[in-house]
Structure 1
Amino acid sequence: WRSHRVPRNGLNAAFNETAHVIVAEPRETLIRISIVDYDNKELAYETASLGTLRNGYRCVHLRSLLGTRIERCFLFVKVAAESTDNLWMPTKELYRQLQL
């Protein structure tokens, strides 16, 4: 998933978009948040396990491409996670397909 570009949105950027994801194993699923410039060059990122993110508003501390945290560089996000039953196929069929 990628958000749309917002021109002239440098300092205190606001994207106002929602990303929906469906995962089978939240603790084993990683989410990577990247900030890229207009040339698609990555400027900063953070990676986290979906299973460790708590619901509510969070400040994600961004890292440089070398992996060190950037001082005073945060992304303010709202996390809203919920569980739902598998609506597309029976659970046994899902387990069968996941066992390669």
Structure 2
Amino acid sequence: VAPDAVAEIAIPRVKRSAIVEAFAQRRGLMLVSLSEMDLHAAGDRCLTQSARSVGALGVPSVAEAAALAAAGEGARLIRPRIKTAAVTCALARRVQP
């Protein structure tokens, strides 16, 4: 995925921080903060499962659920979660009307 194809960073509301806000602003990306209810609504569309995510927020993958919830109903993952020492992320594509 080309960097300019990414429009938003989606995170659980409880993970919002000045560091994430600064990163989004520096990259010119909209920051979407999601409620636990938003994450749970997208949880059944996650492709991977993390015991840590289940324990923390009750969804199989926080990154995947956030990406899917922000992209909306009918969105699909184009990159399941990938984890580094510092960050976990996933990419979802919005369905065009």
What range describes the TM-score normalised by the shorter chain of this pair? under 0.3
**TM-score, structure 1 normalization:** 0.23
Taking structure 2 as the reference length, the TM-score comes to 0.23
Higher relative contact order (CA 8 A, sep 6+): 2
* Structure with the higher fraction of residues in helix conformation: 2
- Between Structure 1 and Structure 2, which shows a larger proportion of strand residues? 1
